[in-house]
Chain A
């Protein structure tokens, strides 16, 4: 209990003034008694229940005094105290990784449990600013020093799991930029966070970690891989039991149509078992599923596509080494091939060569740089390009080309120097640059590796599989710069649209997705990051900075609204009394 504005106590002179005014009023009420016969009656009347009569007669006075005293009290702004969160500002760090989906009490997920805890804490803020940060590869600030409680509740209710790995250290670094030397209480809502990973060097910061405190059971498909062999598909499944109890589950592997394998698997506690299955029917994708009622359901399913992305690039060793460097700078696996083996190579991958005449396996995508079967001629002029996805990221206008090889009949020209074709594409999709790298100054330009990347993306996109992504992964894709692409789930539910491949962000929920534009369709899969397949019980704890006294803070709740309600009631009653009495006296 306390009083906020003691200064206003001077207003007490108003009720005192009213009191004094009443003192000077005449004490007796004149009453005419028409006959002495009634005198006795009249005297009796004054003696019967004197208190009540007194009250009745002076009702207005008492009501007015009470109203005035209450008004004075309201001006003093009395309050009572309740406990509140310590510090000048509060920061919530909310882990939105997939593991937060773990069920704690059969029905509610850890995330929901944290959400209600957050809403509880918001009530105790007592007007202190709240900053709300969600974790992930890119930590996001949802509220910045917000003081409006409604806004906070709205944002907290809107929080969603983003499924990506939490990257807690990144988020904590980010959080520290909000301290600004103010006394801060940080609340971290996560599943498990070690004390060592907290930046404890701040003296006026207290850390509160809300973790997963209940025991959970979890079995997880750790790895699921498949390769195509001559006799069908061989797969390998790794299942991990993370709980202390032994459990039995049924593993099923299915493709788009039917179930291929069912096997009952016994999982010893805290162990990983590996199973392999051979000679499965050829399918476009495979799905592994364990039928177990554990606390964490997301890692009980895993999907792989059978068409894999081209990952290897083979370069003819006669090609200039800068081409090789360009590919290597893009983190692409590059192998050198002696010129005489170019036509014989069996491994899957893209080929870079200048042996135009050599008959290379049909299926293989090829980038020709120069031609060894023709003689170049000198050219003069600027490079002009057509609108092709190959040039979406690489602008070739500033490149100098000294000479080009003769063009190939039937191929489409997509770039030319003056009037002579410079880059062509074959009907089957192969790409030919009609100049040796030495004939140009191209490697000096930053567009060179970008073009090589576009070529690789273009040649490998012959397949309709874009690859595997982690949730919300950002990756530029060479889809063609002009089209709009829409992302659907496998059940044909619309997710969102992207303008071009350069702005591609994978969906957040693990599963299979289809990317559609006007005339093309591509598949992609989103899988949980490996670290999101492990759930461990953590502990909730609190670390106080040296200058933080956590118990000291209280929140003031005002009495004023209650007093005001009482006053309204009093005013109405007073009016009624006055009305009945009339205004003459």
Chain B
């Protein structure tokens, strides 16, 4: 399992926004009451989510299915084995999920 983003360049937006919030934090740290701190963290969380949203993230899950190909030799030397082959293929198709 893998988490990937389509357009990682948008993550660069984090830099100026990060600086801005750091600056406001330094400036207003003292006058923030408890309420202010909560609002501050919610705001940062919201903006992080939005930036992640622009980068178009997706999960890569391994495919557990397999493609099965049947190659049937129908040359003259195998004449008369048609029925056997069909039965064999039918039999294998039964175990198909």
Q: Do A575 and B51 contact each other (CB < 8 Å), given the known contacts A568-B13, A583-B33, A583-B35?
A: no
Q: Are B54 and A561 in contact (CB under 8 A)?
A: yes
The distance in angstroms between the C-alpha atoms of A561 and B13, with both chains bound, is 13
For A564, list chain B residues within 8 Å (CB): 50, 53-54
What is the number of residues of chain B that contact chain A, defined by CB distance less than 8 Å? 20
Chain B residues touching A, majority SS: helix
Can you show 28 pairs from A to B with CB atoms below 8 A apart? A560-B53, A561-B54, A561-B56, A564-B50, A564-B53, A565-B54, A567-B50, A568-B13, A568-B17, A568-B47, A568-B50, A568-B51, A568-B54, A571-B43, A571-B46, A571-B47, A571-B50, A572-B17, A572-B20, A572-B47, A575-B24, A575-B43, A578-B39, A579-B24, A583-B32, A583-B33, A583-B36, A583-B39
The distance in angstroms between the C-alpha atoms of A578 and B62, with both chains bound, is 46
User: Smallest CB-CB separation from B7: which chain A residue?
Assistant: A561
Interface membership of A50, Cβ < 8 A: no
User: Smallest CB-CB separation from A562: which chain B residue?
Assistant: B54
The distance in angstroms between the C-alpha atoms of A575 and B28, with both chains bound, is 12
Interface membership of B12, Cβ < 8 A: no
Interface membership of B31, Cβ < 8 A: yes
For B54, list chain A residues within 8 Å (CB): 561, 564-565, 568
User: Smallest CB-CB separation from B28: which chain A residue?
Assistant: A579
For B28, list chain A residues within 8 Å (CB): 579
For A578, list chain B residues within 8 Å (CB): 39
Interface residue range, chain A: 10 to 19
Interface membership of A582, Cβ < 8 A: yes
Q: Are A582 and B51 in contact (CB under 8 A)?
A: no
* A446 → B minimal CB distance (Å): 14
Ranked nearest first, the 8 interchain pairs of A and B with the lowest CB-CB distance are A583-B36, A564-B54, A568-B50, A564-B53, A583-B35, A575-B43, A571-B47, A561-B54
User: Smallest CB-CB separation from A149: which chain B residue?
Assistant: B6
The distance in angstroms between the C-alpha atoms of A576 and B40, with both chains bound, is 11
* A579 → B minimal CB distance (Å): 6
For B31, list chain A residues within 8 Å (CB): 582
User: Smallest CB-CB separation from B27: which chain A residue?
Assistant: A579
| Per-residue A-contact encoding for B18-59, CB less than 8 Å = 1, 0 else | 001100100010011101100100010011001101101000
User: Smallest CB-CB separation from B51: which chain A residue?
Assistant: A568
For B56, list chain A residues within 8 Å (CB): 561
For B24, list chain A residues within 8 Å (CB): 575-576, 579
Extra pairs beyond A568-B51, A572-B17, A583-B32 (14, CB < 8 Å): A560-B53, A561-B56, A564-B53, A565-B54, A568-B13, A568-B47, A571-B43, A571-B47, A575-B21, A575-B43, A576-B24, A579-B28, A583-B33, A583-B39
